[in-house]
Amino acid sequence: MDKWAELRRLHGLNKGRHILDLFDGSRAGDFAVEADGMRFDYAKTNIDAETRRALIRLAEDAGLAEKRAAMFSGEKINDTEGRAVLHVALRAGEGAVIRVDDQDVLPEVRRIRAACAAFARQVREGVFTGQGGRITDVVNIGIGGSDLGPAMAWLALQPYADGPRCHFVSNVDGAHVHDTLRGLNPETTLVIVASKTFTTIETMTNADTARRWMAEKVANPATQFAAVSTAGDKTAAYGIDPDRVFGFEDWVGGRYSVWGPIGLSLMIAIGPERFDDFLAGGRAMDAHFMGAPFPQNMPVLLALVGIWHNQICGHATRAVLPYDQRLARLPAYLQQLEMESNGKRVAVDGSDLATQSGPVVWGEPGTNGQHAFYQLIHQGTRVVPCEFLVARRGHEPDLAHQHLLLVANCLAQAEALLRGRTLEEARGIMAKKGLTGPELERQARHRVFPGNRPSTVLAYDQLTPFTLGQIIALYEHRVFVEGVVLGINSFDQWGVELGKELALALQPVLEGKAGTEGKDGSTAALVRFLRG
Ligand code: F6P
């Protein structure tokens, strides 16, 4: 029997009803879950108890419990690359044991974390210096997972950032490295080259540029370079002192790597102790994910709500809307986490996926988005499920009144999506303005909000290192659950390869060293135009 059949039946049965009609006295409590001070509310979706049961059955039948255990115990579940998937090991607590190929990996994880912490302290305390003295600026050069995690977290944790300023260079566009380095003092700048493979063309090109920039002022630039990579041989060949090379294993996927040495720039910025709090938040979410029954399990529910909206209701995109300016980079971070993980067209066994893959994820912080794209979310013809995030309090006690406004806006948007405004209500508004007849009718129709649009809210006390850890781990596990239900390997990323290969081949063509034979007409014409 088709595993989606029951959910499709329920969707067909219930799609005409209004979410508001589901609200009895207990829905708000029944369709929300709390864990370690965080609340996930999914009451404003068209999921009722029967649908939730069917969704949970879907997860159970997919073998979620066994697959979750397999991931946490170091089995090689990334089977197109023959790798374990153990980002959870990077935040595992004292006393844990996780084996890969019969070897406990945690002693080495702890050793590297201690080495990173020692280096971070040296930088923060001015023991490690540049040619010009104390390090004032750290430039992290990396891309994808070697950039998005630390860059997102550095912005998120600004209230805790009391170390050197951090900068993030990712794009191969020379404008990025140029504009970032301009204004920095090479004599007091530390460059961290962050690349799991240490071969990524963008990162290595930017690292070369930064090294040349530093060499103009610093006698031996290598002394102000550090590296984070799984490829110790390549960092050595690049001339980086092994004392400042922080390694990790291939069982840490790039987009899951912020918890380990890839987070070094963040650790330098906020200090190792607060970085530990970040890990503790991730660990708390791990314990919840492992221990809570599915109906109360936040990552499981978050994933199943997403599956309901995308695979069953057919809503192709999902907006992530943090009412938290410091989470401005979260949507970009989640784009990689979710779309690189679950944007796959074949199942683990190589067969065509029987349903849609993961959704398009996009978003911007509120309230900014309200003055940009929310028009479409409220009145466009497509339904966009929205995920709001909001804190009970900010970090600026003097500006508590602004925070209150922020929270009011967040809740108001979710309420507006749910409730909408009927034609009758719109007519009343127009009548009050003195309109009558056909013009009243015409104007009123523009002011109708269909409502009945689903959204969820993730609410937490304050965006601390611990909370950020919870949020990131929550989303990681959500992606895992979604991948298990869809039957996808969430941990490879073959879809990025073809473009890389073609770019390499196009380089000599653009340089005029090779011809455009074999290229399609459009590409050949663009090459001619761009060669000038
Ligand atoms: O091209 C995609 C990708 O491999 C991502 O998965 C990864 O996060 C990014 O490139 C950077 O890779 P690396 O850390 O090896 O430079």
**254-301 confidence digits (pLDDT tens):** 999 999 999 999 999 999 999 999 999 999 999 999 999 999 999 999
The predicted pLDDT at position 29 comes to 97
Which residue's CA is the closest to the ligand 1 atom numbered 5? Answer: 144
Atom nearest to 200 CA in ligand 1 = 16
Nearest one of 52, 51, 57 to 10, comparing CA atoms: 51
The predicted pLDDT at position 1 comes to 72
The predicted pLDDT at position 112 comes to 97
228 Cα–ligand 1 center, Å? 13
User: If you ran DSSP here, which 8-state letter would residue 421 be given?
Assistant: B
What torsion do the CA atoms of 201, 207, 212, 218 make, to the nearest 10 degrees?
Answer: -170
Atom nearest to 194 CA in ligand 1 = 14
Which residue's CA is the closest to the ligand 1 atom numbered 3? Answer: 144
The residues carrying an active-site annotation are: 340, 371, 500
313 Cα–ligand 1 center, Å? 32
CB 446: neighbour CB atoms within 10 A?
Answer: 9
CB 462: neighbour CB atoms within 10 A?
Answer: 15
222 Cα–ligand 1 center, Å? 24
CB 402: neighbour CB atoms within 10 A?
Answer: 11
Is the distance from CB of 41 to CB of 456 less than 8 angstroms? yes
Concatenated DSSP letters of 52-69: HHHHHHHHHHTTHHHHHH
The β-bridge partners of 38 are: 35
CA 523 from chain centre, in angstroms, equals 33
Pocket test for ligand 1, best of 78, 87, 143 (most atoms within 8 A of CB): 143
Is the distance from CB of 275 to CB of 114 less than 8 angstroms? no
254 Cα–ligand 1 center, Å? 6
Pocket test for ligand 1, best of 170, 197, 200 (most atoms within 8 A of CB): 200
120 Cα–ligand 1 center, Å? 24
Distances (CA, A) of 430 to 110, 420, 423, 425, 447: 66, 16, 10, 9, 9
Q: Residues near ligand 1 with C-beta < 6 Å?
A: 142-146, 195-197, 200, 203, 254-255, 340, 493, 496
Distance CA 241, CA 261 (A): 16
Which residue's CA is the closest to the ligand 1 atom numbered 6? Answer: 254
Q: What's the pTM?
A: 0.97
Atom nearest to 146 CA in ligand 1 = 14
pLDDT tens for 174-201 read 999 999 999 999 999 999 999 999 999 9
Distance CA 314, CA 100 (A): 39
Q: Which residues of the chain have pLDDT under 70?
A: none
Atom nearest to 197 CA in ligand 1 = 15
- What is the enclosing helix (H) or strand (E) of 284? helix 272-291
